[in-house]
Every structure is written in C-alpha cells, then in structure tokens.
Amino acid sequence: MALDPNDKKWLTQLFGTKIKFGELMSKHTSLRIGGPADVYVSPETQKQLFELTAWAAHRQHSYLIIGEGTNLLVKDKGIQAIVISLKKCLNEITKTDLGKNKYRVRAMAGATLRSLCTFAMNEGLSGMNFAIGIPGTIGGGIKMNAGTSKGTMEDILDTIDILLPDGKPQTLCKNQLNFSYRNLSLANTNHALHGKHPIILNGGFILNHTDDRELKKEAKLILKDRKRKQPIGWPSAGCFFKNPSPEQPAGLLIDQAGLKGIRKGDAEISAKHANFIINTGKASAEDILWLMKHVQEKIFKLFNIILEPEVKIVGD
C-alpha cells in the first residue's frame, strides 16, 4: 500500500530526521548500487523496531529487513517498501557458561559477524573462525547461512529468536531450523503470515573454550588467504553465484569459460576471482544483471550447468 501523508507524519514523529523518504539504496549496499527505497530507516532501539513493524503490519505496508546490504543487488528503480536496517540496534553480544568448556554466545541480529568473531577470539572460544572476513550482520549471516569451506552458521547455531509477522516473539531450536546451502528458510514453516517473513532477532551459538593464541594465529592466515584470492577494496556482494558443487565451484567454471575480466558498463567479472562481479565506477543493476545472464548462458552452453545467484536480487 502506498504511503499517505498521515503515514509519513507518523514515521517522522517516531524517527525524526533519521527517517529517509526516497533514499538511494546504493548508499546502503556493498555493491554501491540500487535505486530509491520508498522509506529507509535504521531503528536505534528494539522498542522502535517493534513499534515500526507492528504499525507497518497494521497499515499493510510491506517492509524488507536488511543488515549491512553485503549480499544484495537492489534494482535501479528501487524498492517500493519500507527498508529497515538492523545495523544500529540489536548489537549486544553476551556469553553464558554451560560447563565442560562449552559456552553459549548470544549475538543480536544487528551486531556484525566481524564483532562476533573478535568477541569469540578474545574470549578464547573456538568455532567462529570460519566467518573471519565475511562482512555483514548476524541476522544477514543466519538468513544466508553464511560460510566458507571451513564451516557455516548452521554448524554452530543452537537457537534463534525471531519476531513473527503478527508481532509475537518466538524461540526456534536447531532441529526446527530449515537450513540449506546459503539459506535459512523461514518461509515454509507455520511462522510465515500472509507472505511476510519473520525477523531474526538474535542467534545463540555453542562455542568451545580453547587457546586464544591459536585462534588468533589461524584468523590471520584466513584473512591473508582471503586478501590473496578476493578483489578486496572493490564494491561487490562477495560470491555472486552459488557453487553447483564443491568440486565445481562457480568461479572455476566462469574462469574456464574465459569470462574473467569481461565488462558491461562499469560492471566487471573480477579478473582476480571469477565469481565476484565488481562495480568499478557507476555500474547499474541492469549492467550487473546483464553480466549475470551472460555468464549463466555461457556456463549452461559449455557445461550444461545452471548457475543460481547467491546474491539476493530485490526491488523493481
């Protein structure tokens, strides 16, 4: 439903100048691409977040929850919805001793994966190092089941708290979580209401006590390896396509197809890592989508493999 002047007044009363109407999403995505969102806001407290989502549900306004926008391609015409970023609220990270060298670390959805990895390292807790160097928030990481060949969120998650579309909070245990490769599906559970998905509020991670010096040493090596392999410094959304299988990573297939370095406008298949599409200047979502389609067609023709995007494509 389109916003009317009363809606805008209500939002401005709750958020003051922090509410942005027609905000370019290119300011909030790591690809630096994306047209205007009807509304963009980053609530600063959980109370504000709950108030906003309850109001939006009541007024039948759709909303999109994001973290740091590091896995998003927002289309050029933008998003006809309220975009709510959690990166300014829900930032706490705490730990509880479970005995026998085990700890449950609870990280709120708006905290960064970086801060959780640093917390775990400083506390001498093992299990998080696989996520060293992955940007984004805990909420985004859980939704995307973020990971590398060294591990995924699924491996260490014990419980999550979610906010249901009807405004009720709920705790889900590991055996209720429907994880798959780079996805946690909350949609086909009985928690989805009228096509709206629950909001992840936090995650509880089970980590084991260990020598923090070993963790720090390992973390340095992982970061060094990422720097060596990835086009760090260029706007991107990380790996663009899902790997069809561990033996056939998308990057290898794209490289073998001779597509490294090809461009459309300012969008480029990275010459350093073929599964990264980078924005070398003023690339549009159209440019990125053109490259995506081109790569998909070539890979299908050469290898009979359908490459699926890992990046979430949103907007109009």
Our answer to whether residue 123 is catalytic in this structure is no
Examine residue 236 and tell whether it contacts ligand FAD (CB under 6 A).
yes
C-alpha 284/C-alpha 236 separation (Å) is 12
Listed in order, strand segments (DSSP E) in 243-311 are: 263-264, 267-269, 277-279
Examine residue 38 and tell whether it contacts ligand FAD (CB under 6 A).
no
**Alpha helices (H) in 230-284, listed in sequence order:** 250-256
- What is the smallest separation between the CB atom of 183 and ligand FAD, expressed in angstroms? 9
**Three-class SS state of 87:** coil
Examine residue 25 and tell whether it contacts ligand FAD (CB under 6 A).
no
- What is the smallest separation between the CB atom of 113 and ligand FAD, expressed in angstroms? 6
Q: Binding residue for ligand FAD (CB under 6 A) from 37, 49, 74, 134?
A: 134
Q: What is the per-residue binding string for ligand FAD in 53-92, x denoting contact by CB under 6 A?
A: -----------xxxxxxxxx-------------x------
Are 111 and 138 a contacting pair, CB within 8 Å?
Answer: yes
Are 124 and 215 a contacting pair, CB within 8 Å?
Answer: yes
Q: Binding residue for ligand FAD (CB under 6 A) from 34, 36, 141, 249?
A: 141
Backbone φ and ψ for 40, nearest 5 degrees, come out as -130, 130
> Of 17 and 202, which has the nearer Cβ to ligand FAD?
202
Residue 95: which of 206, 192, 226 has the closest Cα? 206
C-alpha 296/C-alpha 272 separation (Å) is 19
Q: Binding residue for ligand FAD (CB under 6 A) from 36, 43, 136, 251?
A: 136
> Of 52 and 86, which has the nearer Cβ to ligand FAD?
86
Helix (H) or strand (E) holding 222: helix 212-229
C-alpha 144/C-alpha 66 separation (Å) is 11
Residue corresponding to tokens 């429907």:
178
Instruction: Please identify which of the residues 106, 117, 182, 268 carries the catalytic annotation.
Output: 182
Q: Could you count the other beta carbons within 10 Å of the beta carbon of residue 309?
A: 19
> Of 66 and 121, which has the nearer Cβ to ligand FAD?
66
Q: Binding residue for ligand FAD (CB under 6 A) from 26, 42, 48, 137?
A: 137
Examine residue 36 and tell whether it contacts ligand FAD (CB under 6 A).
no
Our answer to whether residue 154 is catalytic in this structure is no
Q: Binding residue for ligand FAD (CB under 6 A) from 109, 116, 292, 299?
A: 109
Are 130 and 150 a contacting pair, CB within 8 Å?
Answer: yes
- What is the smallest separation between the CB atom of 301 and ligand FAD, expressed in angstroms? 28
Contact set with ligand FAD (CB under 6 A) = 30, 64-72, 86, 109, 134-137, 139-141, 143-144, 146-148, 199-200, 236-238, 312
Where in the sequence numbering do the catalytic residues fall?
Answer: 182, 239, 310
